[in-house]
Amino acid sequence: MNSIEYGPLQEKGLLSAGLDYYKPTMSQVFYEQEPDAEVTFTFKNRGEQRIADYVEVDDLQARFNYLAGQGWQQQELAYLSTLNNSKGERVFNDDFLNYLENAELPPVEVVYDEETDDIAIETTGPAPLVTFWETVVMGEVNEAYFEGYIEANGMDIMDVYEEGDRRLSEKIAILQANPDIKFSDFGNRRHFSLRWQRHVLERLMEECPDNLVGTSNVALAMNLGLDPIGTFAHEMFMVYAGLADARGENIRASHNRLLQDWYGRYGKDLSIALTDTFGSEFFFSDFTQEQAEEWRSLRHDSGDPVEFGEKVIEFYENMGIDPQEKTIVFSDGLDINEIVKLHKLFKGRINVVFGWGTTLTNDLGADALNIVMKATHVRTTDGREADTVKLSDNPGKHTGPPEKIKEYQHEFGKHAVAAA
Return the exposure string of 328-340: e unless at least 16 CB atoms fall within 10 Å of the residue's CB, then b.
Answer: bbbbbebebebbe
Q: Could you tell me the CA-to-CA distances from 147 to 4, 12, 18, 56, 395 in Å, in that order? A: 14, 17, 16, 12, 33
pLDDT value at residue 71: 83
Q: What single-letter amino acid sits at 390?
A: K
Contacts of 266 (CB under 8 A, 6+ apart): 25, 85, 91, 231
197-211 pLDDT tens trace: 999 999 999 999 999
The one-character DSSP state at 387 is E
16: pLDDT strictly greater than 90? no
Give the span between the Cα atoms of 359 and 139, in whole angstroms.
Answer: 15
The percentage of residues in the chain with a pLDDT greater than 70, rounded to a whole number, is 94
Determine contact, residues 348/325, Cβ cutoff 8 Å: no
Question: What was the pLDDT predicted at 5?
Answer: 53
Reply yes or no on whether the pLDDT at 145 is more than 50. yes
| pLDDT score at 11 | 53
* CATH fold of 231-361: TIM Barrel (3.20.20)
**Size of the chain, expressed as the number of residues it contains:** 420
Give CATH 3.20.140.10 domain extents, the chain.
1-177
Q: Architecture of domain 1-177 in CATH? A: Alpha-Beta Barrel (3.20)
Decide: 201 and 221 in contact? Cβ < 8 Å. Answer: no
Q: Which ranges in the chain are annotated with CATH 3.20.20.70? A: 231-361
Q: Return left, alpha or beta for 230; rule: phi > 0 is left, psi -120 to 50 is alpha, else beta.
A: left
- Per-residue pLDDT tens digits for 275-312: 999 999 999 999 999 999 999 999 999 999 999 999 99
pLDDT confidence band for 337 (50 / 70 / 90): very high
Nearest to 29 by CA among 102, 127, 105, 135: 127
Cα distance between residue 229 and residue 343, in whole Å: 20
Span between the terminal Cα atoms of the chain, in Å? 45
Residue pLDDT, tens place only, 242-283 = 999 999 999 999 999 999 999 999 999 999 999 999 999 999
> In whole angstroms, how large is the CA radius of gyration of the chain?
21
Q: What is the pLDDT of residues 37-94, one digit of tens each?
A: 999 999 999 999 999 999 999 999 999 999 998 888 888 899 999 999 999 999 999 9
Long-range contacts of 44-48 (CB under 8 A, 24+ apart): 44/371, 44/372, 44/373, 44/374, 45/116, 45/118, 45/119, 45/369, 45/370, 45/371, 46/370, 46/371, 46/372, 47/367, 47/369, 47/370, 47/371
pLDDT in tens, 341-369: 999 999 999 999 999 999 999 999 999 99
* Per-residue pLDDT at 417 exceeds 60: no
- The backbone torsions φ and ψ at residue 120, rounded to the nearest 5 degrees and listed phi first, read -125, 145
Residue burial 159-179, b: 16+ Cβ < 10 Å; e: rest: ebbeebbebbeebbeebeebe
CA 21-23-26 angle, to 5 degrees, is 115
Q: What is the mean pLDDT of the chain?
A: 93
